[in-house]
Amino acid sequence: MERFLTKKDTFQPTRFWLFAAGSTAITSSAFISLNNVWYSQYPRSSFHLFDDYGEWENMDKFGHVYTAYFQANLISNGYRWAGVSNNRAAWAGFVTASLYQGSLEYLDGTSTNWGFSISDFISNEIGAGLFLAQQLTWKEQRIRLKYSNTPVNYSNELIYSTDHQSSTSYKERAQDLYGNSYSQTFFKDYNASTAWLSVNPSSFLNNKPNWLPSWLNIAVGFGAENLYGGFSNNFEKEGKNFMVKSSLERQRQYFLSFDVDLSRIKTKSQFLKTFLNIFNIIKFPSPTLEYNSNGVFKFHPIYF
């Protein structure tokens, strides 16, 4: 297993075709399955645009940036494993991520309930482009996109309809939007999500001081809270209109924290190195300073 996982410096045709065929089959199957399981269940239309910029305080846009970045990185690493040169592997990752994510945007564009979002498309290209630019410039990722999730304990307090004839709760509203299980809410619950830009200082220094670990990163994060609707906290359910109380104002959050670049932890085990690289997309829990759009600072001894 160790030998199989080790990257090669010279081109390996068998590995190349194995990865090329495997990755193509997986991405094609994912696209077909998503179309059949999800999009085919909703009315289709001619291609059209939809402007969703600002929805969910743009937390969903980071999802597009993050997914494209991760996919480009994953594909590039696969081709590097097969001995493909850095630049060619980086371009393969960029093109694959752009085409796959773009094809999903096309499905949105031909669905009555949605539409092709230019801001989503641009977000995809930013993510894939961030990976490509770093690989071509530095042959490594000095700036990584990461994600973290802190589950929210939603209140059972009731929300009454504007005519006071119906009620729901904050917990029920969150479940309607984001799901019930942690596997559903891990990526879907924008109130629990934090997007991170994690920078490795030592990689920018020609003479790194001995006290600075090569794996230590500085991360800046972006999040939001009190989101009970896409553009506002007014919503409709079963023909009734509801309004979230004004004290639960939608807020943007900004974070400053430490992080760990798991790919820079030295190990002789290729299996462990592969494991660390896969989980390097998750922000490491660390002391964190938060500032929100209401001008309030908070310190978290450990923030997940």
pLDDT on residue 62: 96
Give the pLDDT of residue 262: 98
Q: Is 293 helix (H, G, I), strand (E, B) or coil?
A: coil
Q: What six digits make up the tokens of 248?
A: 């639960």
SS3 content of the chain, % helix, strand, coil (to 5): 45, 20, 30
**Which residue do the tokens 């085990």 mark?**
269
Please enumerate in sequence order all residues whose Cβ is within 8 A of that of 268, keeping only pairs 6 or more positions apart, or say none: none
What are the boundaries of each domain within the chain?
Answer: 1-141, 142-304
> Which strands, in side-by-side order, build the sheet including 286-292?
143-149, 193-199, 216-225, 251-260, 286-292, 297-303
Q: Report, as ranges of residue numbers, the positions in the chain whose pLDDT lies below 70.
A: none
Distance CA 150, CA 120 (A): 25
**Contact 71/63 with Cβ under 8 angstroms?**
no
Q: What is the pLDDT of residue 235?
A: 96
Given its phi and psi angles, is residue 161 left (phi above 0), alpha (psi -120 to 50 degrees) or beta?
Answer: beta
pLDDT at 38: 85
Q: CA Rg, the chain, in Å?
A: 22
Distance CA 188, CA 168 (A): 20
- pLDDT of 52-61, one tens digit each? 999 999 999 9
pLDDT score of 3: 83
Contact 89, 132 (CB under 8 A): no
Note the pLDDT of residue 83. Answer: 97
